[in-house]
Amino acid sequence: MAGPTILESALRVDPDERQLPQPLVEKERIDSIDVLRGFALLGILPMNIQAFSMIRAAYWNPTPSGDPKTADFYVWLFSHLLVDQKFITIFSMLFGAGILLMTGRVEAAGKSPAALHYRRMAWLIAIGLAHSYLLWSGDILVAYGLCGFVVFLGRHLRPRSLLALAILFIAAGSSSLLAYGMWPALQSILGHLFTWMPRPLSPAAEIAAYRGSWFAQMSARIQTSIQAETFSFVVLTFWQVTGLMLAGMAFLKLGVLHAKLPHRVYWSMIAVAMCIGIPVTLYGTLYTFTSDWNSLYSFAIGTQFNYWASLLVSLGWIGAVMLASGNPALHPFTRPLAAVGRMALTNYLMQSLICTTIFYGHGFGLFAKVARVSQLAIVIAVWAFQLAFSSIWLKRFLFGPAEWLWRSLTYVQWEPLRRNSESAA
């Protein structure tokens, strides 16, 4: 008789687990991490909205959507230099840090966190699959859950070892991408491995699908989701995300994310971003234009500049947020960000609900009709809504609705949701 599957093992509950430490209460939270998570969550939207509203090619390449002298081009360039891969890098690092925080609390109580962690990742994968196949194919939750299975094993490593492993994993993703782009033999091998996967839709077919009904969208959404969770995951996502999560664990252990290091450390991170990260990204962009956006060059070589430079720009953003978090005068601005960060899963899914309603055919059907400049106005409106909504919600409830469901499934009991007089004190 066959043994239990990995998913079944992860979902199995030991009666003793009900005695494990419960989710963090407010007084135990690290405010600077919540602020940074909220900042990163909002920061991914300027790039994600391009994926929600435009054909896939336009996300990477600005030329299909207009003349590179227009305002739309400069919106793309600004996003590419300061946003593209930068905020998802921070978000991935924080996910690794969150794994370390959760498992550390369990181990401090003298318990093994393995079953709890794997069950938590299994439910995240389930949520991500529903998100990916029913709503939006740009999902990152499935990748986070899968990479989280691996990252858990490195939680006891020293910061230096974690950073070394992080660099190795990130470099492996870079090398894999370069090898695929440069070696026709590897393209052929991987092509045979994924022959069952549908070919990419033409722009016209993609537009028709996403302007259609929810059922009409399924062909495009399923096709893109399968590609993201198989080919893209194997070639790039696994290596990059796993490395970033390990780096996040290291930064947590080094105290970088607590906003308590000397200010010169954070200013140095900002200087590295401005003096190295942004110029390297810009150079790579200009160099890609000289190749006329040749698909092979752009995919294999042109992306390498931003792939590596985004790490440095992300450090600059982290440094800036840590300085802001440690400044009491800025608390009126950082507290709403912390609220967004505490409800990151809810707000992430909410962004998909809002944007698919705006751009897809089951809503207003504006797919491929909204210029990048106008997309920014939508981004700002969503930011304002989520900042206000998160703050108001957390005055009445302990968790965001998605966080509450995820926690309840993880701990196999209905967690309290509504605040009482004691929790509000």
The partner residues of 397 in beta bridges, in order of sequence, read 418
Name the residue among 376, 377, 292 with its Cα closest to residue 46: 376
Q: What is the DSSP string of 148-181?
A: HHHHGGGTTS-HHHHHHHHHHHHHHHHHHHHHHH
The pTM of the full predicted model, rounded to 2 decimals, is: 0.89
What was the pLDDT predicted at 5? 42
Name the residue among 92, 106, 202 with its Cα closest to residue 147: 92
Whether 94 and 36 have beta carbons less than 8 Å apart is answered as yes
Instruction: Give me the numbers of helices (H) and strands (E) for the chain, helices first please.
Output: 23, 0
- Phi then psi for 30, rounded to 5 degrees? -100, 110
What was the pLDDT predicted at 64? 63
Here the tokens at position 313 are 């720009």
HSE (CB half, 13 Å, CA atoms) of 113?
22
What was the pLDDT predicted at 44? 97
Name the residue among 134, 35, 154, 157 with its Cα closest to residue 362: 134
CA atoms 366, 371, 374, 379: torsion sign: positive
CA 278 to chain centre: 21
What was the pLDDT predicted at 189? 53
What was the pLDDT predicted at 202? 81
Number of Cβ atoms within 10 Å of the Cβ of 131: 21
In order along its 425 residues, the chain shows pLDDT tens digits of 444 443 344 444 444 544 555 555 555 689 999 999 999 999 999 999 999 999 988 887 887 655 556 888 889 999 999 999 999 999 999 999 999 999 999 998 899 999 999 999 999 999 999 999 999 999 999 999 999 999 999 999 999 999 999 999 999 999 988 887 666 555 555 554 444 445 567 888 899 999 999 999 998 999 999 989 998 899 899 999 999 999 999 999 999 999 999 999 999 999 999 999 999 999 988 888 877 776 666 667 778 999 999 999 999 999 999 999 999 999 999 999 999 999 999 999 999 999 999 999 999 999 999 999 999 999 999 999 999 999 999 999 999 999 999 999 999 999 999 987 444 43
- State the first-to-last Cα distance of the chain, in angstroms, to the nearest integer: 54
Whether 61 and 293 have beta carbons less than 8 Å apart is answered as yes
Name the residue among 88, 106, 98 with its Cα closest to residue 22: 106
